[in-house]
Amino acid sequence: MDCPGRRPGLPPQPGGLGRGPRLVGAAARPRGARAPSRWWGADPRFLARDRGLGPRRRLAAAVRSRLRVGTPRAAPPPHGSARHRLAAAPGPGEGRVSRRVRSLAVLVALLAGAQAALRLGAAPARVDPLVARFDPAAVWRVVLSRGERQVVLERRAGKEWVVASHGAVPVRRGAPEGLLRLLRGWRRQRVAGSDPRRYAEWGVGGDDARRVQLFARSGTPLLDLYVGRVTGIDPVAARARGAQVDSERLGLFVRAADEAEVSVVNAFLLGLFEPVPRNWFRRPLLEGRPEDVRRLRIVRPGEDPFELLLSPFPGRALGDPRPLDPARVYGLLQQIYMLEPKGAGRAPPAGVFSVELERAGEESERFLLWEAEGRFFFAGEGLRVELAAQAAQKVLAARLDGLWRRRLIGAGEGSLARLHWEEGDEEIALRLRRELTWEATCTGIGRPLASRRWPSGAAKELRERVAALEAVRWERSPRSTEDAGWARLVAVEPGRFRAVLRFGVRRGELREVIVDGVAVPGWVPEAEVQAIRAAFLALAPD
């Protein structure tokens, strides 16, 4: 029996319920023949049954036939019958195509498996982007070395760090923590290589390589890293930019001591990794401020000690009424707080210069200073260091005679706004009206005299002489009597300063001077007093 849609002369196509006819393109059907259904096959019963149905009903009928709902499926042909042999026989080229497809599928699967195996075997191990992983709180010792030079930082009780390799000098506050933060923040940008022959070129091998080692309190190594040279600097591009370097392209070669691979990290600062002890020393050596000192005691071998009570500032010398110079006292305190460590120290000899400081609300602090073979040394509680010469020399030269007040007018000549001179019947008052212009007013013998403006040069000379007047020395005891015929000089700074000087008896080339607020008299050169008087008279009206 021919199936509908089969081209005459061709063997019958396998069909049956649930399998559509096997056709080779639309040309296999006779012209005008209806295409067989793809859902319910070429069974004549179904073709006749659904001939008058629409597409939706035909589709529903096909679904019911597949699910065995509604119309029953046709029974399969008996085994061994002609229809069974036709249904089981492959179509033209069917067996040959199936074998090819299976062979290609097996080959593709083998190739895909081989490629996956190759990729899995060639895939590099995951690289940690961070160079160093450690807990900063666990670091107890830092060793920086380069060749034979070495700096060792150690943590003491609490959070204090010292340079253990150089006299246990205190470390700058926050410096070790900054180094550890820097190391923890390094990230690998790329791998430079692993050729040991290039270690010296990259600066991560050889005697000149910088090395950083971190240890726990128990001595367990936490990090061992070589820090090489800077890379990413293009000389040609830098010259084109006017010697400016693109910092985003810079990096450092680094290598772990137990690895061969060299990486480039996102950093370019090398100063912290140089084993230079002074880079870590606390500067200045003493913590605090000069303003906080309330008492200063200095003992010099072979001389009487002196003690300064500095509250309120400038204070006074214990047991001495002579006035202290505020600028000189503050300068001495500044030099003490500018003492700078230079290296490891030594044990102090007997009988050396000593300084004792007492700050507000704190216990007193005492330390020793001495000079040996042109070098200066410091010894305090648990601390011995060599000092830089500049500040140490000035502190060792401090004497009480160098702290007495010299200049009698505290304000500078540029700050003087009014000057007044009175001696006997002479009385002259000068006031600064405008910049570089003076108005002189002279009064005397009970009646006012005319005012007059004078050139700025003459007035400037007077102000300079008044501001430069200095005491040669001071008496240790106050005067008991006053002589008649005193001259008086008053200098005023607007709103802040008023100095009153009274000039008394003459002794040779000196003249006695009494300063308001000072218990003892001093002595000034008589020539300076006469020059000031002459400058006043030169500005007085005729």
Of the listed ranges 129-133, 241-245, 346-350, 505-509, the least confidently predicted one is 241-245
- Give the pLDDT of residue 343: 86
- Give the pLDDT of residue 16: 43
Range 290-403 classified under CATH 1.10.3470: no
pLDDT tens string 98-125 = 676 777 777 778 887 777 666 655 445 4
Which pTM was predicted?
Answer: 0.64
- Average pLDDT on 132-137 reads 91
- Average pLDDT on 207-219 reads 92
- Quick check: 346 and 384 in contact, CB under 8 A? yes
Structure-model confidence comparison of residues 429 and 72, the more confident one: 429
Which band of pLDDT confidence, cut at 50, 70 and 90, is reported for residue 288?
A: confident
As given in the structure block, the two tokens for residue 227 are 């820090």
Scanning 427-518, the segments in alpha helix (DSSP H) are 456-467
- Give the pLDDT of residue 420: 86
**Long-range contacts from 297-305, C-beta under 8 angstroms, 24+ separation:** 297/355, 297/356, 298/353, 298/354, 298/355, 298/356, 298/398, 299/353, 299/354, 299/356, 300/353, 300/399, 301/351, 301/352, 301/353, 303/399
- Sign of the Cα torsion 366, 372, 377, 381 reads negative
Beta strand ranges found along 119-258 (DSSP E): 141-146, 149-155, 161-163, 169-170, 188-193, 210-215, 221-231, 251-256
- Quick check: 430 and 491 in contact, CB under 8 A? no
Where are the domains positioned within the chain? 26-92, 136-279, 290-403, 413-539
CA distance to 189, 201, 275, per residue, from 192 (Å):
9, 12, 26
Q: Which residues 6+ apart lie within 8 Å of 305 measured at CB?
A: 297, 298, 299
- Give the pLDDT of residue 121: 54
Buried-exposed string 127-145: b where 16+ CB fall within 10 A, e elsewhere: eeeebbeeeeeebbbbbbb
Residue 364 backbone phi and psi in degrees, to 5? -70, 150
Q: What phi-psi label fits residue 174: left (phi over 0), alpha (psi between -120 and 50 degrees) or beta?
A: left
**What residue type is 497 in one-letter code?**
F
- Average pLDDT on 250-268 reads 89
Of the listed ranges 7-16, 62-71, 207-216, 451-460, the least confidently predicted one is 7-16
- Give the pLDDT of residue 339: 94
Indicate the average pLDDT of the chain: 78
Element at 370 (helix H, strand E): strand 365-372
Report the C-alpha gap between 29 and 5 in whole angstroms: 5
- Average pLDDT on 228-245 reads 61
Report the C-alpha gap between 266 and 195 in whole angstroms: 21
Report the C-alpha gap between 303 and 397 in whole angstroms: 13
Residue 88 burial by Cβ neighbours in a 10 Å radius (0-12, 13-18, 19+): exposed
Residue 53 is classified by DSSP as: -
Residue 382 burial by Cβ neighbours in a 10 Å radius (0-12, 13-18, 19+): exposed
% of the chain with per-residue pLDDT over 90: 38
pLDDT tens string 481-495 = 555 568 999 888 766
As given in the structure block, the two tokens for residue 514 are 């009494």
Q: Which of 2, 42, 19 is nearest to 11 (CA)?
A: 2
Element at 433 (helix H, strand E): strand 426-434
